[in-house]
Amino acid sequence: MKRDRDEAEEEGNEERNKRKMEIVWQTPAHPAQKQDYVFHNGKRHVRPYYFEFVSHVNKRWEGKTIVDLFAQEFRGRSRDYYVSAVKCGRIQVDGENIPVSYVVKRCQKISHFLHRHEPPVMAWDVEVLQNEPDVLTVCKPASVPVHPCGQYRKNTVLGILQAEYGLAPLYPIHRLDRLVSGLLIMAKNPAKADIFRQHIEAGLVQKQYVAKVVGVFPDAEQVVDANIDYNAREGRSTAEVGISNGDTTLKGKAACTKFTRISTNGIHSIVLCEPVTGRTHQVRLMNRKQ
């Protein structure tokens, strides 16, 4: 009898888990919802979903067949994939299924529905620290990107704030890398975001980071100048230290960071990092160079 109850309970749990992870339909018009998230083993997962990527036929695309257009303009997938996607309706024109020989016309809306499995992030909350009429300040946890990018759409600070607090639209004033935690300030309207942008460009806003590094960091303030070369396609940056001359030219943009040791236990050091410039991945790369 007990075995029967255990088997029934196990089957019930499996059925509930299947319902939790069932595929949902998602388009830009449908924001992330609280029920889209599943928490398991300390991580925040997103239910698999289909997402609609939208584009419009421009002058260069006009007159091409739908398959030729995708095969020539979006080379990340094979021609056979696009033929299959058109036949099963994952690629549509103006909301309608079309044959693989369909010739597109100017300004038509093309929808490409892709099956998405977002990587999980840590299940820490995005804590709202201050909610003002025009400004929102939150504590961003590590592992969560700020806004949709790459494989992430719902597992982002913006997606979580919209799903769990109904806070949207939001305009991030600055960005923290996915693996970085800290204060994140966002405007609630374009006008306030523009004011912050002007302050940042005028040098009226200063950023400070605290990093834990391996080893005993020098006691005196360290100033590191380097060139940061950011590769947007790969999402990576490299740093070069030196002086350009007639034979060699440093890649990227000039960057300067100040480092001050806060404390050390002889194995690790806590360091205050103050970027004078604002280049992507600047603080982490400068730490390595130091």
Q: What is the pLDDT of residues 193-225, one digit of tens each?
A: 999 999 988 888 888 889 999 999 999 999 988
Active site residue 68: no
10 or 102: which carries more pLDDT confidence? 102
The rounded distance, in Å, linking the Cα atoms of 25 and 48 is 9
What distance lies between CA 181 and its chain's CA centroid? Answer: 14
- What is the model's pLDDT at position 17? 45
Domain covering 20-47+119-201 in this structure, CATH number: 3.30.70.580
Identify the band that residue 278 occupies on the pLDDT scale cut at 50, 70 and 90.
low
- CATH class of this structure's domain 209-289: alpha beta
Q: What is residue 96's DSSP assignment? A: B
Q: Which of 68, 177, 225, 229 is catalytic?
A: 177
Q: For all residues of the chain together, what is the average pLDDT?
A: 85
For 82, the enclosing helix (H) or strand (E) is helix 79-87
Percent of the chain's residues with pLDDT above 90 = 60
Q: Label the pairing between strands 49-56 and 24-26.
A: parallel
Q: In 56-76, which positions are buried (b, 16+ CB within 10 angstroms) versus exposed (e)? A: ebeeebeebbbbbbbbeeeee
Least confident of 9-18, 88-97, 281-290: 9-18
Cβ atoms 193, 208 nearer than 8 A? no
Please say whether the beta carbons of 94 and 52 come within 8 A: no
pLDDT band (50, 70, 90) for residue 2: very low
Q: What are phi and psi of 155, to 5 degrees?
A: -80, 60
45 vs 123: CA distance, rounded Å: 8
CATH of 49-116, one of 3.10.290.10, 3.40.50.300, 3.30.70.20, 3.40.50.720: 3.10.290.10
CA separation for the pair 74, 69 (Å, rounded): 8
Cα distance between residue 86 and residue 171, in whole Å: 36
Burial readout 92-121 (b: 16 or more C-beta within 10 A, e: otherwise): bbeeeebeeebebeeebebbbbeebebebb
Positions of CATH 3.30.70.580 in the chain: 20-47+119-201
pTM of the model: 0.69
Contact 150, 235 (CB under 8 A): yes
C-alpha–C-alpha distance, residues 186 and 27, integer Å: 24
How far is 23 from 118, CA to CA, in rounded Å?
Answer: 12
Residue 24 pLDDT class (50, 70, 90 cuts): low
Count CB neighbours of 135 within 10 A. 17
- What pLDDT shows up at residue 18? 43
Give me 13's structure tokens. 């749990």
Measured distance CA(45)–CA(17) in Å, rounded? 13
Instruction: Look at 7 and 37; give whichever has higher pLDDT.
Output: 37
**Segment 100-117, tens digit of pLDDT:** 999 999 999 999 998 889
CATH 3.10.290.10 residue ranges of the chain are 49-116
3-state secondary structure of 211: strand
183 burial (CB, 10 Å; 0-12 / 13-18 / 19+) is middle
Start-to-end Cα distance in the chain: 67
**Span(s) in the chain for CATH 3.30.2350.10:** 209-289
Residue 224 near residue 286 (C-beta atoms within 8 A) = yes
